[in-house]
């Protein structure tokens, strides 16, 4: 992904989750995003960093079991 801003629908397709899940995670502060009016927006670079961090944490948890 380029250093651009995407909607919740676009990020949901990228992450392969439902758009509602993306919005719920954003409201809870568990995924980096910001609101423009009543719509959520997501910076592609921040999403990439967040995704890589989550994958590394998941792998680390599996190794510690």
Which distant-in-sequence residues (6+ apart) come within 8 Å of 23 by Cβ?
8, 40
Angle at 37 between CA 20 and CA 47, to 5 degrees: 50
* Confidence band for 13, pLDDT divided at 50, 70 and 90: very high
Instruction: Delimit the domains of the chain by residue range.
Output: 5-64
pLDDT per position as a tens digit, 24-35: 999 999 999 999
Encoded tokens for 23: 């919005």
Residue 41 pairs in a beta bridge with: 7, 34
Question: Around Cβ 60, how many Cβ atoms within 10 Å?
Answer: 9
Instruction: Return the H-helix or E-strand segment holding 36.
Output: strand 34-36
């Amino acid at each position: 992904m380029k250093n651009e801003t995407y909607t919740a629908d676009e990020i949901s397709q990228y992450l392969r989750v439902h758009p509602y899940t993306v919005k719920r995670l954003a409201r809870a502060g568990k995924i980096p995003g910001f609101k423009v009016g009543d719509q959520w927006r997501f910076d592609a670079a921040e999403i990439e960093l967040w995704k890589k961090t989550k994958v590394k944490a998941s792998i680390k948890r599996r190794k510690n079991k």
